[in-house]
Amino acid sequence: MTTEAIYHYDQKFEQQLIEMHSSLPSINGYEDEYVKQRTLVEFNPKTDRAFMAWFLDEAKSLLFLYYPYIGAWQKKFDVTPDQWIGNAIYVGREVEQRNSLPMTEGYGPMTDALTQANNMRH
């Protein structure tokens, strides 16, 4: 998934998306509106609350993570979209027991991929 792609969130997150996007701080070197239009938000499948946002500059392989409880962007280098979501699935499998997360759709591309992987049987 690229940050250029349109992701369709579950309607119940409409207000949280507005609040999250309006609270995002600036990233040096980027126009605020550009970042807000391309930032993806992830929702917790157990609480239905936003827990992070991410912005990926694919041209520069830079990933910026925003956690509301920290209130600032964190920069990660040399990251592609597939690596980012793949790493989240890998870490999630280590942290969460199989079938411990409700399957989601519309909770964010990383969360949806994580819950699908969590519920897959091998």
Q: For 19-59, how does the pLDDT look when each residue is reduced to its tens digit (9 = 90+)? A: 999 999 999 999 999 999 999 999 999 899 999 999 999 88
For 23-65, what is the HEC assignment? HCCCCCCCCHHHHHHHCEEEECCCCCCEEEEEEEECCCCEEEE
Percentage of residues in the chain having pLDDT higher than 90: 56
Spatial distance between the Cα atoms of 37 and 69, rounded to a whole number of angstroms: 22
* Residue 6: per-residue pLDDT: 77
Domain ranges in the chain are: 11-115
Check residue 121 and give its pLDDT: 52
Task: Measure the CA–CA gap between 80 and 59, rounded to whole angstroms.
Answer: 9
pTM assigned to the model? 0.83
Q: Give the side-chain half-sphere CA count within 13 A for 4.
A: 3
pLDDT digits (tens, 9 = 90+) for 53-101: 999 998 898 999 999 999 999 999 888 878 888 887 887 777 778 878 8
Q: Distance between CA atoms of 4 and 116, rounded to whole angstroms?
A: 22
